Amino acid sequence: MLNLFFVLILSAFILTVLIVVHEFGHFLAAKRAGLKVEEFGIGYPPRIFGKKIGETIYSINLIPFGGFVKIYGENFNKELLKDKRSFYVQPPKIKAKIVLAGIIANIALAVFLLYIFLFAHHFSSYQTLLFDYHFPFGKQEILPVVLVVAPESPAEQAGISAYDIILSLNGKKIKKVDEFIGYIKEHAGEKITIQIENLISNKEREIEVIPRKEYPKNQGPLGVAVAGTIKIEYQKPIEKIFSGFLHSFNLIHYSFSALSYFVKQSFTQRTIEPLGSSVAGFVGIIAMVKITAQAGFWQLLNLVALISLGLAMANILPIPGADGGRMIFVIYEAVFKKPAPPKLEQKVNEFGFVLIIILMILITFKDVRQFKDIIFH
């Protein structure tokens, strides 16, 4: 079991790296456009160390969990109209490149990491399904995967562990969770030969187990919790060449589809719970890091890529204060041939900042309730 302090440090490090990569995208785009960049910082003020190189201060700051870039002219004043190197006077095309560069940087990092992950796993990956879904690219097969094994259960005694994929029962190929549960219940008290492939080691093995007829509440005859997982394979040469991009697109498409699905569920059920349970903040990331780090380096690498994509997707949403919200004003300027009123943009961004803080607090409380057993045990 991983030490909680180590998990906290690892989670903070991962999040800091991903946010710094995001901010570096903005920084690089601004520099390439010839704008004045006042500061590029790792962490948040107060400043511990800073060195001015050229016109830019490069700083290390006290508060971790991120970074920032300060581009001259992002906050309006009349003096900016005289300075051609300020952000405010740039045409919409340049502003759009700078605003979107952070999102592109996170996606590019995810693509790179996924290339490494897929190459190491024979261009295949598994994704747990939260709803009925088919990915746009790759050959796909749905299988049940073991998430939790109850202590002293028949499954534990037989050697079944988390991340074991159920391939067949007594030679019968299993493709759905309901099919797996039904078969186990139907053959309770009988010896069953289960063919398993471990998601982490990719090793296949056969085990024999006898499901019990009587069992504790919420455990079932075998004593496992299973979920549907989909195996995605990129088999064609062209798919392998572009696998990092294809897999990133698959995951982005799946995430936005999931967001749409849970929004509809929340409206249908008239409760925020379905949508809330699908969103995670820093506490949720700690829980995911703790689980994944125990599964080994490759799964942790995959998780970092997923978080990087998640950061990109969160920023592309039209939320005031986020990159997507800033793009609304860039689009307004492109359409109406003039910037939006500075005071309006300032008020919207201030509102967005407050909204994001409130959401982070609410998500943190939700995450503590949802993931406390994972984090503290």
Per-residue confidence of the chain (377 residues) as pLDDT tens digits? Answer: 567 888 889 999 999 999 999 999 999 999 999 999 999 999 999 999 999 999 999 999 998 878 999 999 887 776 766 788 889 889 999 999 999 999 999 999 999 999 999 999 999 998 888 888 899 999 998 889 888 888 889 999 999 988 889 989 999 988 888 889 899 999 999 999 999 988 777 788 999 999 998 888 778 899 888 888 898 999 999 999 999 999 999 999 999 999 899 889 888 888 877 777 777 888 888 888 888 887 788 889 999 999 999 999 999 988 887 899 999 999 999 999 998 888 888 888 888 888 888 888 888 888 888 777 777 76
pLDDT of residue 200: 73
Q: What angle do CA 132, 137, 139 make, to 5 degrees?
A: 80
C-beta of residue 135 within 8 angstroms of C-beta of residue 250: yes
Residues in Cβ contact with 365 at an 8 Å cutoff, skipping those fewer than 6 apart = none
What 3-state DSSP class applies to 253? helix
Rounded Cα distance between 153 and 148, Å, is 11
* Residue 15 near residue 307 (C-beta atoms within 8 A): yes
pLDDT at 1: 56
Which CATH superfamily groups domain 139-233? PDZ domain (2.30.42.10)
Q: Where are the domains of the chain?
A: 4-121+281-375, 139-233
CA 250 to chain centre: 13
The pLDDT score that the predictor gives to residue 81 is: 67
Q: What is the bridge-based pairing of β-strands 139-149 and 124-128?
A: unpaired
| Burial zone of 364 (CB within 10 Å; 0-12 exposed, 13-18 middle, 19+ buried) | middle
Whether the CB-CB separation of 18 and 109 falls below 8 Å is answered with yes
128, 161 in Cβ contact below 8 A? Answer: no
Residue 294 identity (one-letter amino acid): Q
In this predicted structure, what is the pLDDT of residue 92?
A: 96
Residue 363: predicted pLDDT: 85
The span from the CA of 240 to the CA of 235, in Å, is 7
